[in-house]
Structure 1
Amino acid sequence: MTDSALCACGAPLDERDRQIRFRLPDPVLALDPAELEAGRWGNDVMMAVENVGTFVRCLLPVRLSHGFSATFALWLGVHPADLQAAYDVWTAPEYIDFELSGFVANAIEPWGADLLAAPARAVVKDPEHVPYIVESSHDLLAQVITEEWPHHEVIR
């Protein structure tokens, strides 16, 4: 390992990326289990829930102080046609060019409900990963994407 792969504290940088995965979109969590199972299609990266919406999992990397980062595996609420487009290309070579827009479907701490329903655009950066959220017209989400945040405020 080279020195450039170490942070100031001596820990490898790749061990300093905290992974936070949301199991379900927040609107889906409001359903009782029977209601959820009766009207749900999907898996851990795509889902449609009757009378609730359609969702695609995306990654939101957040730069933190002292060389840390946090990557949130969240759900993006998308138009049903975009869910179908994701399904059509997910395992195809065209997936690398896939983009989608939607709305953040999880309240992400420490920003909480302020990010819920924020518009976002996501692109595929690595064909082995779900799409990454790369931009937003929502002021706070745009800051989350582009700025460095105090480690102690995001990871508690």
Structure 2
Amino acid sequence: MTEIGDPSFAGVCACGSPLDELDRQIRFRLPDPLLELDPAELEARRWGNDVMMAVEGVGAFIRCLLPVKLSHGFSATFALWLAVHPSDLQTAYEVWTAPEYADLELAGFVANAVDPWGAELLAAPARAVVKDREHVPYIVETSHELLGQVISKEWPHREVLNAMP
């Protein structure tokens, strides 16, 4: 059996998985409600960029991070979209590059189905806060039972990684 510290270890977890597979960053391109829109229609109705957007007739969204603890000390971080009230999007836009950004708190609903939990997380209520001024807000709290477990529980890395594309 190869052990950590052994020269033949070369970036492999004790479970046999390459380390780079265990520290994963997963970025959702769009909120799920926008995936059905024709690209030209989406472009015509959309304001924003890859961290905040509003789509006429659909809603307002801000990218947030959902870190998930995995077994063996690793993690997966999902850069997903949080559906927010339009006034919260406006507030976020106004403070995004200002010192007040550090105090930004958002309440909204998860706007992506996150595997392996899938659609069960879609529309889960969530609260996000700025933990680091260099990052988008982090989802830290929810009243949703499963999302609460995703936030607080350590998950078997195979279960989470095998669900990813």
> Residues 112-149 of structure 1: CA distance to partner in whole angstroms, max 9, x if unpaired?
00000000000000000000000100000000000001
- Return the offset for 1:17: 2.1
Separation in structure 2 between the aligned mates of residue 124 and residue 38 of structure 1, nearest angstrom? 31
In structure 1, the residue corresponding to 2:116 is in which secondary structure?
A: coil
Partner of 2:158: 152
Contact 2:109–2:125 at 8 Å: present in 1 too?
A: yes
What is the total number of aligned residue pairs between the two structures?
150
Question: Are residue 75 (structure 1) and residue 81 (structure 2) matched?
Answer: yes
1:5-154 residue pairs with structure 2 within 5 A? Answer: 9=14, 16-154=22-160
Runs of 4+ that moved beyond 4 A: 6-9, 13-16
In structure 2, the residue corresponding to 1:113 is in which secondary structure?
A: coil
Larger Rg: 2
Separation in structure 1 between the aligned mates of residue 106 and residue 121 of structure 2, nearest angstrom? 18
Where do 5+ consecutive residues of structure 1 fail to align? none
In structure 1, the residue corresponding to 2:93 is in which secondary structure?
A: helix
- Return the offset for 1:68: 1.5
Name the TM-score, length of structure 2 as normaliser. Answer: 0.86
- Aligned AA for 2:151? I
Separation in structure 2 between the aligned mates of residue 111 and residue 94 of structure 1, nearest angstrom? 34
Contact 1:54–1:80 at 8 Å: present in 2 too?
A: yes
Where do 5+ consecutive residues of structure 2 fail to align? 6-10
Separation in structure 1 between the aligned mates of residue 107 and residue 95 of structure 2, nearest angstrom? 16
- Return the offset for 1:36: 0.3
Separation in structure 1 between the aligned mates of residue 51 and residue 142 of structure 2, nearest angstrom? 21
Q: CA RMSD in A?
A: 1.9
Separation in structure 2 between the aligned mates of residue 7 and residue 147 of structure 1, nearest angstrom? 23
Q: Percent identity over the alignment?
A: 78
Separation in structure 1 between the aligned mates of residue 35 and residue 13 of structure 2, nearest angstrom? 40
